[in-house]
Amino acid sequence: MNKKLDRLAERRSLLIAQAEAQRTALAHNLVPWRARLALADRGIAAVRYVRSRPGLLLAATLLVAALRPRRVGTWLQRGWLAWQIRRRLFRS
């Protein structure tokens, strides 16, 4: 029984060492992605913020309309298209 426990302990320490090596390699490989992932996180947070405050989106649209009336139609078309695409993606 002692031999079996010794083998298990040896196997466990080997697996722990392998897991540590894998974590280190993963951390090293993710360094170039850190800035991009942080930017994506900020974008997701911004979308959630605006999504939870629909009045803010309306106010921003009205502000754009007041500042550049010719471009409002274009932005409304883009917004409508984006909304429909999002709806279709999350409906499935």
Q: Which range among 16-20, 22-26, 67-71, 77-81 shows the weakest confidence by mean pLDDT?
A: 67-71
Residue 49 CA from chain centroid, whole number? 14
**Shared domain check, 36 and 60:** no
**Shared domain check, 25 and 4:** yes
Tell me which residue range forms the domain holding 87: 54-92
**Shared domain check, 26 and 2:** yes
**Shared domain check, 67 and 89:** yes
Q: pLDDT grade, residue 92 (50/70/90)?
A: low
Residues 6-60: tens digit of each pLDDT = 999 999 999 999 999 999 999 999 999 998 889 999 989 988 888 888 787 778 7
**Shared domain check, 33 and 65:** no
* The total number of structural domains that make up the chain: 2
Q: pTM to 2 decimals?
A: 0.44
**Shared domain check, 18 and 61:** no
Question: Cα(13)–Cα(27) distance, rounded to whole angstroms?
Answer: 21
**Shared domain check, 90 and 74:** yes
